[in-house]
Amino acid sequence: MDSLIIPATGRTPGVSFDFVGGHLRMTGESYPDDVAGFFGPVFDALRGYLSCPDGGPIRFDMELLYFNSSSAKALMNILQMLETVAKAGRPVTLTWCVEENDESMRELGEDFAEDLRHVVFRMREIPAGGGP
């Protein structure tokens, strides 16, 4: 399956899904004008990837600095897809990257983690204004 690469814009996150390597990554900020239009192709590609029966472990690096409530719902849908395959036995690790001193993003990560029972959740602090 081909990778999914969507460059970041001022309002949409960068998406880098390396399906062969099992490495999924989202970066930047997410507050698109058309949430369904942006995330629809992401959902479709992810569903196709997760439906492959011989899939290996998945590593998802969530490196978003900001997202709005509509994006939060879309992100929750992605995490629920990952939770479903993890529950079925596929190893999934989510690394939630948060800038130091960004308590609101830290709390959002903790809130998302509460809904995950089978996905391994890790919080990783990164320097403010920097990167992982």
Q: Is the pLDDT of residue 132 over 60?
A: no
pLDDT digits (tens, 9 = 90+) for 29-60: 999 999 999 999 999 999 999 998 777 999 99
H-run or E-run covering 41: helix 35-50
pLDDT digits (tens, 9 = 90+) for 53-105: 777 999 999 999 999 999 999 999 999 999 999 999 999 999 999 998 899 99
**Residue 15's pLDDT band (cuts 50, 70, 90):** very high
Q: Which residues contact 36 (CB under 8 A, 6 or more apart)?
A: none
Q: Please tell me the number of Cα atoms within 13 Å of 131 on its side-chain side.
A: 4
Residues in the chain: 132
**Residue 130's pLDDT band (cuts 50, 70, 90):** low
User: Which pLDDT score, from 0 to 100, does residue 53 have?
Assistant: 73
User: Which pLDDT score, from 0 to 100, does residue 131 have?
Assistant: 53
Architecture of domain 3-126: 2-Layer Sandwich (3.30)
